[in-house]
Every structure is written in C-alpha cells, then in structure tokens.
Amino acid sequence: MKARDDTLFPARLDDIGFVAEGRQLLSGITTRIGRVPITVLLGPNGAGKTLLMRICRGLLIPTRGSVSWGNADIGRLGVRVGYVPQHPVMLRRSVEANVTYALALAGVPRQRRSEAARSALAAVRLEGFARTGARRLSGGERQRLAIARAWSQRPAALLMDEPASHLDPAATTSIEESIEAVRDAGTRIILCTHDLNQARRLADEVVFMHHGRILEQASGSVFFDRPQSEEARRFVAGELLV
Amino acid sequence: MSEFTRAFEQAGNLLIALDPDIFGIVALSLQVSLTAVIIATLIALPLGATLALTRFPGRGIPITILNAFMGLPPVVVGLAVYLLLSRAGPLGEFGLLFTPGAMITAQAILVLPLIAALTRQTIEDLATEYREDLASLGANRARMLPTLLWEGRFSLTTGVLAGFGRAIAEVGAVFIVGGNIDGVTRVMTTAITLETSKGNLGMALGLGIILIGLTIGINAIAMAVSRFGRLRYGA
C-alpha cells in the first residue's frame, strides 16, 4: 500500500470559474486547500460546494482557471485523491466486494485484497456486514462503506460531499467517527457541508462559500469566533442565507 | 371440435410415451438455439457496451441500425445466410448449408442486434448512474466496460432471454438454411410447419406444447436466478 503523498499539498485553485446554461455558478475562486488535516467547505445549499469538489477531483473541467495538486496532472490523479459523493453508488455485490473492487483498481495484489478490505471496513465499523449486499445497507452504512471503499485505496486526500446530509444523529456520529479514523490514518480530508455544527466539530480550516464565491477562509476557531464577512456572521448566527 | 380434442389427445400420448422422434427434434432445437444465443451474446455484450460508453461522430448511425435490426425478418436473414453459404457464395467452400452450423449462424445473426441494442441501452443508463463513482475510484473506460456489464447482469439476462425466445421460435431462417432434413436439421418450428401441412396435428401440437413449455421453463429459471441475485445484492 502506498504511503501518504505529501507532494500534492496544498492543492492550488487559481481563478476557477464555471458557467452552465448561461449561469455563472462559480467565479473567481483562488485559494489553497489541504494544508491541514480537515478542511471544510462550508456554505448554504447552492453555494457551489459540490461543483467545486467535482472540479477539484477532475470530474468536471472548469470554464476558466485551473486546479493543481502539486505537480500531478489533474486528469491523471488516479487513486491519489479519493472522492465520496453525496449519494454514492454501491456496486451490486457484497460490502467486501465493493472494497476489493476499489483495491483492484488501486493495483493491490489479489491475495492481499481481502485482508485490506477487512481492515478498511473495520475502520468504519462495518466489518460485521462484509457478506451483506451493499445495496441492502442503510443510508448511513452506505456512506461509511463509500468512505471505506475510497479510503482503502490509501489516497493522500479524500474529498467528501455532504457525507452526513439527511442522516439521524446516531448515523452522523458514526460517519464522523469514520472521518476521524481516516484523518488519524494520515489522509487529508476536504469535506463540504452546509451543517454548521458538523463544521464546528470537524474543521481545522473553514472555507466559507456563498453564491459561487469564497467569502472567507480561516482556521476553524477563528472562523467561528470572529467571522469577517456579513454573510458568514449571519450564517454562524444561524440565520438563513439565500 | 372433435378434431381439436383428438389432436390434444394424440399430443398427450406422444409426450407421455417420450416419443424419440419428438425428443430428437427438441434436442436439436435446443442445441441450435442455445449455441446461437451464446455466440451472439459473446459478441453483442461487448459491442453494445462499447457503443454505450464511447462517443464519436456519427454514433447515432450504428445505434439506429442496431435498433432497426432488432426486427430483422427471419426469412431475409435466412436468404442472406443462404447466399453466403451456398456453393457459389463466398463461404460456400465450408459446406455448411443444410447443416446445424448454418442454422446456428442464421439464428446468431438474427438475435445479435436484439441483444446488442438492449445491452447498449442498459449500459448507457447504468453509466449515467455509475460513471463519476467509478472514475473517482480510478476506473478508466476499459475498466468500466466489464464492471457495468456485471452490474447490469440482471437486466441483461432479460435481453439474452429475449434473444433466446426469438431464436427458438423463429422458423423462416432455419427453414431456408437448414432445409428441414429429418434427423439432421429438423427443429421444432420447422417440424410443426411440416406436420401441420401433412395434417398430423397431434405431432404438431405436441411439439408446440413442448416449445411453449421450454420457453416458459427457461425464462422461469433465468428469472428465478435474477430474482435471487436482486434479493441478495439489492436492486
């Protein structure tokens, strides 16, 4: 299994813009992310967080600007930067087979896949579901499996899109414990959420987005104690931003 | 009405007596159609999946042709294969005309577009759902192809079954290229046609019952396997 690749950090986003059907969805996004263990892209729905995540993973090409992870070609990130979408699609096979599939793509030899899969499942506390059909899991369990599947490839960074949206507190706690396990194993996490409390619990750094722009970027404690922009102040105060 | 009843009675007697003529015909029918479907499936699955996953100028043309060929008239396929395999034809030297090999060729050509078109649609729908997840796990297009074929296995089973149904039920193509030779190329559909024309309705009806029974039986087994898979791994 590959060791963590620190040469990818920080990821550089230079003047990212994205237009779809005549609408400017992202504009002027220039920043550095991935310098700390957990970076949270925070903002209300429609802020452009998911779009930015997909661009960062190379799944979408921005209309303008560029993303670079160290010297890596964004189109050839391979398994070095993982991605867990908001609604991950599970393969129609067992929980363990979903992970061994990812391991095969990462080039892990066949004889080591089963053990590596069990280890990844144990990290998200799904070891008891190894033989269960992946599509039979609950929403929270699916998210944890998606995390295990992506993390089993030992990416240097793992991008997660709203990993606990629409989940109850127990499931959210399990997801956050899984995220912390991944962080503790050395993978840097870039997570987007509109959940202020989740951001408070997890963020080492917050990138606050609204209407397709970054309005503020600061350490978690600074952001929540002294938000600088009017929008961030209102958001932290629990007001509804539209 | 009494003739109809007599035909049923005669068919029942032939089935109960395990008539060797009938079962020889049934065995050949199964051999020809299953072989044709297996060959067609081996070509149609990768062909349909490749069409689903690739984008190139004029892509709509092969898709339109494939869809149109789902309704290929069996007699036209039979005629085309006849011309290919006849002594004067480009493949005449192989001496396949009026052999089960010719019938397998004709049926494979007949069902290939059906299975390929259904595969193309199934894989295209699956790709919409899976593409980003697989790409983010590091799967390139070559790797996605077998993955999506496996993910679509339950739906694709239905396509293959449709192909089998078309193969075993068709009469025009196998009649032209097989010649309906007793003990050599006589299959259920051509035998039913012949026996009906001879007025041997009991034999024709017996074969008809077996044909329908086999079709239902094979579909039932395949659907049971598919259902078990869906229950085991989720829809």
Tell me the nearest-neighbour CA distance from A222 into chain B, angstroms: 33
What is the structure's pLDDT at A72? 81
pLDDT in tens, A58-114: 999 999 999 999 888 787 788 899 999 999 999 999 999 999 999 999 999 999 999
- SS3 labels along A132-199: CEHHHCCHHHHHHHHHHHHHCCCCCEEEEECCCCCCCHHHHHHHHHHHHHHHHCCCEEEEEECCHHHH
Q: Which ranges of chain A have pLDDT less than 70?
A: 1-4
Instruction: Return the closest-CA partner of residue B174 out of B87, B92, B82, B69.
Output: B82
Residue among A57, A90, A133 minimizing CB distance to B232: A133
Task: Work out the pLDDT band at B235, boundaries 50, 70, 90.
Answer: low
Residue A209 pairs in a beta bridge with: A214
Q: Which residue has the tokens 């559909």?
A: B189
Residue among A78, A79, A88 minimizing CB distance to B133: A88
Residues of B in contact with A135 (CB under 8 A): 233-235
What is the structure's pLDDT at B9? 82
CB A153 within 8 A of CB A112: no
Q: With an 8 Å Cβ cutoff, are B136 and A83 in contact?
A: yes
pLDDT in tens, B161-220: 999 999 999 999 999 999 999 999 999 999 999 999 999 888 888 889 889 988 899 888
Average pLDDT over residues B126-139: 94
Instruction: Return the closest-CA partner of residue A91 out of A82, A83, A100, A80.
Output: A100
Instruction: Return the closest-CA partner of residue B166 out of B69, B98, B86.
Output: B69
What is the structure's pLDDT at B11? 78
Type of residue found at A183: R
ipTM, two decimals, is: 0.87
What is the structure's pLDDT at A3? 44
Residue B216 lies inside a defined structural domain of this protein: yes
What is the structure's pLDDT at B228? 83
> Which of B:119-148 have CB within 8 Å of A?
129-130, 132-133, 135-139, 143, 147
Task: Work out the pLDDT band at B7, boundaries 50, 70, 90.
Answer: confident
Residue B1 lies inside a defined structural domain of this protein: no
Number of domains in chain B: 1
> In terms of DSSP bridges, do strands A213-219 and A188-193 run parallel, antiparallel, or are they unpaired?
unpaired
What is the structure's pLDDT at B230? 80
Residue B235 lies inside a defined structural domain of this protein: no
Looking at the domain A6-90+155-236, which fold is it? Rossmann fold (3.40.50)
CB B133 within 8 A of CB A85: yes
Task: Work out the pLDDT band at B21, boundaries 50, 70, 90.
Answer: confident
Residue B3 lies inside a defined structural domain of this protein: no
CB B183 within 8 A of CB B27: no
What is the structure's pLDDT at B218? 86
CA distances from B193 to A95, B107, B110, B140 (A): 53, 18, 20, 51
CATH code of the domain containing B206: 1.10.3720.10
Residue among B143, B234, B235 minimizing CB distance to A105: B143
What is the structure's pLDDT at A76? 79
pLDDT in tens, B22-68: 889 999 999 999 999 999 999 999 999 999 999 999 999 999 999 99
pLDDT of residue B1 exceeding 80: no
Domain hosting B203: range is: 28-229
Residue B125 lies inside a defined structural domain of this protein: yes
Residue B5 lies inside a defined structural domain of this protein: no
**DSSP state, A48?**
S
pLDDT in tens, B63-112: 999 999 999 999 999 999 999 999 999 999 999 999 999 999 999 999 99
Backbone angles phi, psi at B10, to 5 degrees: -65, -40
CB A34 within 8 A of CB A70: no
Q: Give residues with Cβ within 8 angstroms of B16, minimum separation 6.
A: none
Residue B121 lies inside a defined structural domain of this protein: yes
